[in-house]
Structure 1
Amino acid sequence: MRAPKPPARPDRVSLPHYLRLFRADILSAQPARLYRAWMAEFRAPLLRSCLCNDPDLVDLVLNRRPQDFPKSARLREGLAPLLGRSVFVTNGAEWARQRRLIDPAFERGRLREAFPAMLDAARAARGRLAARAGEWVEIEQEASHVAADIIFRTLFSIPIEHHVASRVFHEFRAYQRAQPLLNLAALLPLPRFLPRLHPRRVRRAARAIRSLIGELVAERAAALAAGTAPPDLASRIMTATDPETGHRFGPAEMVDQVAIFFLAGHETSASALAWALYLLAATPERQARVAAEGRAFAAAPSFANLARLGFTRDVFREALRLYPPVPMMVRETTRRERFRGRDIGRGTQIVLSPWHLHRHERLWDDPDDFRPERWQEAAARRTARSAYLPFSSGPRVCPGAGFAMIEGPLVLATLLADLRFSADSGAEPVPVAHLTVRARDGIRLRICHRDATSPIQPADETKPLRNQ
């Protein structure tokens, strides 16, 4: 099955036309040639950027010399209303100190402790969807619901139904649609003394989210002082001490970190889960394989038995390849560089694009095809070592990568053990970039009980779905 992607623009368009496309959606603004190019430069009077698809350049920026290519200050300004100075946007010594406090909470032993909360959230999602059997459901909303539930249960030991958690979730839905991952305002090199003008609805939603998170942090600080706090991720991070400085996160710093945990742990997981469910709904035979693994796992659900969800894990990997939640990452040069024989000036925006790397015609076999079986092939595994970046790479790799790779297969297996999903072949979703890669008009799937007569008709899995 050929997975949907937005139509790439022609290779040659005028600058005003390109800027209009970019403002509407960065994915559909990209020219077709970028899916086979190793590098491309963009020059405008106030901006110079360089897209790097060459795996050697990606390795240079993320792994070999990451200190010379910090996170873009312009991108940081674009996300500042919600994220403040969280670990996602800081650089240098500040970032290193934050990672020393955060990383221990996501070690594998800690993830084992989080497994029961993840399983409870997955089962709750199965119950909500089972109650809607026979209906067409907007699955992105449901994926957001379960991902947020997992974050709140593992971070603060509260379910999504908790009054503060529920309010954060609903405020975030407003923020998600209002704030794109990249926008022209964030990339323009305005003088630092000029304030960034964020839309009013972005600022309002960010203030509301941060205020609610502040309530949760204050409650947890009081519980820690009283000795009544549960041993969850929030408690571990708030009591962690930097081995080099003896520093701990203060309340304001903790609000910043919880904001990025919620964004990275909820929004990105929701994106990947929704696309994985769509891809399985469109390929019933593969869906049946995941269901079989899910039923076997449900008979003996344990952290150790997650290892038996092999094909389910490959499905989730493939969904992350085709629809990387964060489609582009931006770094900034701190000195003059020479990339592939070209001079790159100081202050150039270096764009690393999982979206293009994961679908690059010179790196992957059948790059636009949904084929989870590829992950058992030596060629795909070799390519993945240098051209698969759903969680970034190097020192700045997402600390929650292991968390996500447990959460995704667990939720898919739990849902599909009991439920069937079918897709409308006449309404192919079109991916666009908001905070993460989402469908332009949502993803509608029909649900029925797996032990009931299925409304799903067998499909030719090699035939592309019809476009909208």
Structure 2
Amino acid sequence: MKRPPKPPARADKVSLLRYMALFRRDILSAQPARLYRAWMAEFRTPFFRSFLVNQPDLVKEVLKARPEDFPKSDRIGEGLRPLLGNSVFVTNGETWKRQRRIIDPAFEGGKLRHSFPAMRAAAESAVRRMAGRDGEVVEVEAETSHAAADVIFRTLFSIPIEHEIAAQVFSEFRHYQRSQPILNLAAFVPLPRWMPRFFRRDTRRAAATIRGLITRLTADRMAEIAAGQAPDDLATKIMTTPDPHSGETFTTEEMVDQVAIFFLAGHETSASALAWTLYLMALYPEWQERLAEEAECLPWLLSEGAEDTPDFGIMGQLRLSRDVFREALRLYPPVPMMVREAQCPERFRDRAVPKGSQIVLSPWHLHRHERLWERPDDFDPGRYGTENGKQCVRDAYLPFSAGARVCPGAGFAMVEGPLLLSYLLRHFRVELSDRPAPVPVAHLTVRSDAGIWLKVSRRSSGPDGPSSR
């Protein structure tokens, strides 16, 4: 039986220098195979100790029961500070709590329907772009990045990706991706605050350019809000929401930090997840046809003003698409590892965990854990209807983290992903190409080592390009 590709695991024992070299290049293939069965593993370096935790009750302890005792570690965030500044992704304590109090209301379940028309417009735009690639072998990660960036700009600022500033941000972010390693020196060596972080020059330049462009968008929106002329999108909602404790709203600089992480998290992670989902659909064409049939029964007309243009209620009918996307998130979680730091001495599984230890929670290993999931390396969207699947979703499924620091955009992503997937498969068939199978590696998110190349073919056509019959 075909199995989705998985990175090679290293031998259990390598030198520290070899491990650091592997870890810096790709954190997935640097890990030993035994982690897919271990409940906990300890790693020691000259500067700190880290513990990878897979045991479900310990994961819950760290993320849900005592999150303040295990704040986010600075070691991973250090490498992203030139772009993210003091955003909600890297902060802790009272600063983080204030940021979430302002951000969370914009992403509450009932408000997602207000973002749906913008998501739908981005999906229609993606179909039209793909129509020009009919019969070609396409690098789909590039296509899904374009579509996900379009979703972010349309929902945040009510502008399409073709807008001058949006297009520049997208272009500069591709430069940033290529220049930014997953970790920098501070991930391995505890550096004092005054010491330079040794960021590459092109990384600093790209980050500064992106932040400058976002500042322009944010300042313009501040002016529109002041004039009472701002559209009712996510940026306006967040920028006009006061902290219920202090009554203060975000300053322009604070909002730039948050928009940077919305773009990084909302665009990069969604692009990764959708690209892997399309690859799985090419690998398992029987599932692809089932999703196409599901979408065939729904109104997907692309012509403007069509009376049967779908509204938010359509998401309740995309059950297969949702399960397929959920299974892709299990096999290829966009954020493969999360790191917390023990604020006081702990004891896990009768082992001393000193204060300052790094607690690594790995969705990559937890989602494929051999002692938790039935057939963990198999692609099976039907597993979520089984008792094992339901139990594992509760205990061992963390594509968006969990607890207090769960991603505020989790619900947003679970609308965006199935919607884009259904639009694309309603109009196109994807097939494997003669290129080698993609190997997952961890960059900013889980991507392919050499791209994901699929042949794209139209299913049907109409006067406005691909459309429903």
Q: TM-score category by the smaller chain?
A: over 0.9
Name the counterpart of 1:345.
354
Deviations along 1:215-269, one digit per CA (max 9) or x if unpaired, are 0001101111111110000001111111111111000000000000001110000
CA contact (8 A) 1:152 1:159 kept: yes
Counterpart check, 1:115 vs 2:124? no
Distance 1:201 1:58 in 2: 37
Name the counterpart of 2:364.
355
Name the counterpart of 2:452.
443
SS in 2 for 1:379: helix
Distance 1:19 1:92 in 2: 30
CA contact (8 A) 1:138 1:443 kept: yes
Higher mean displacement: 180-189 or 229-238: 180-189
CA contact (8 A) 2:184 2:199 kept: no
Measured after TM superposition, the shift of residue 176 of structure 1 is: 1.5
Name the counterpart of 1:59.
60
Name the counterpart of 1:105.
106
Measured after TM superposition, the shift of residue 204 of structure 1 is: 0.9
Name the counterpart of 2:395.
386
CA contact (8 A) 2:39 2:53 kept: yes
Measured after TM superposition, the shift of residue 189 of structure 1 is: 1.3
Measured after TM superposition, the shift of residue 19 of structure 1 is: 1.8
SS in 1 for 2:224: helix
CA contact (8 A) 1:133 1:448 kept: yes
Distance 1:176 1:390 in 2: 21
Name the counterpart of 1:369.
378
Give the letter for the 1:294 counterpart: A
Counterparts of 1:30-179 in structure 2, within 5 Å, are: 30-179=31-180
SS in 2 for 1:446: strand
Distance 2:105 2:94 in 1: 18
Name the counterpart of 2:24.
23
Name the counterpart of 1:196.
197
1:423 to 432, 439, 444: 432
CA contact (8 A) 2:218 2:255 kept: yes
Distance 2:283 2:76 in 1: 36
CA contact (8 A) 2:224 2:230 kept: yes
Counterpart check, 1:402 vs 2:415? no
Name the counterpart of 1:462.
none
Measured after TM superposition, the shift of residue 46 of structure 1 is: 1.3
Name the counterpart of 1:413.
422
SS in 1 for 2:297: helix
Name the counterpart of 1:458.
none
Give the letter for the 1:40 counterpart: A
Gaps of 5+ in 2: 301-307, 462-469
Distance 2:177 2:160 in 1: 21
CA contact (8 A) 1:75 1:187 kept: no
Distance 2:152 2:396 in 1: 28
Name the counterpart of 1:241.
242
- Report the TM-score, using the length of structure 1 for normalisation: 0.95
Distance 1:57 1:424 in 2: 42
Give the letter for the 1:223 counterpart: E
CA contact (8 A) 1:35 1:359 kept: yes
Counterpart check, 1:311 vs 2:312? no
Name the counterpart of 2:10.
9
Counterparts of 1:244-323 in structure 2, within 5 Å, are: 244-299=245-300, 300=308, 301-323=310-332
Deviations along 1:179-212, one digit per CA (max 9) or x if unpaired, are 2334453232122332211111111111010000
Distance 1:73 1:342 in 2: 24
Measured after TM superposition, the shift of residue 426 of structure 1 is: 5.3
SS in 2 for 1:420: strand
Deviations along 1:398-440, one digit per CA (max 9) or x if unpaired, are 0000000000000000011011000126511001001000001
Measured after TM superposition, the shift of residue 325 of structure 1 is: 0.3
Measured after TM superposition, the shift of residue 121 of structure 1 is: 0.3
Distance 1:286 1:216 in 2: 41
Give the letter for the 2:391 counterpart: R
Name the counterpart of 2:465.
none
Deviations along 1:316-370, one digit per CA (max 9) or x if unpaired, are 0001000000000011011101011110111111110000000111111111111
Would the alpha carbon gap of residues 424 and 46 (structure 1) be closer, same or farther in structure 2, given more than 3 Å must change?
Answer: same
Gaps of 5+ in 1: 453-468
Give the letter for the 2:361 counterpart: L
Counterpart check, 1:433 vs 2:442? yes
1:331 to 328, 331, 340: 340
Would the alpha carbon gap of residues 187 and 296 (structure 1) be closer, same or farther in structure 2, given more than 3 Å must change?
Answer: farther
SS in 1 for 2:450: coil
SS in 2 for 1:298: coil
Distance 2:34 2:185 in 1: 22
Give the letter for the 1:298 counterpart: P
Task: State, as a whole percentage, how many aligned pairs show the same letter.
Answer: 64
Pairs aligned (count): 452
- Give the aligned CA root-mean-square deviation in angstroms: 1.2
CA contact (8 A) 1:180 1:433 kept: no
Give the letter for the 1:256 counterpart: D
CA contact (8 A) 1:358 1:367 kept: yes
CA contact (8 A) 1:318 1:372 kept: yes
Give the letter for the 2:421 counterpart: L
Measured after TM superposition, the shift of residue 378 of structure 1 is: 1.9
Higher mean displacement: 384-393 or 173-182: 173-182
Measured after TM superposition, the shift of residue 74 of structure 1 is: 2.2
Measured after TM superposition, the shift of residue 131 of structure 1 is: 1.3
CA contact (8 A) 2:337 2:364 kept: yes
Name the counterpart of 1:455.
none
Distance 1:425 1:313 in 2: 29
Distance 1:202 1:250 in 2: 25
Deviations along 1:33-53, one digit per CA (max 9) or x if unpaired, are 011001111111112111111
Distance 1:425 1:64 in 2: 48
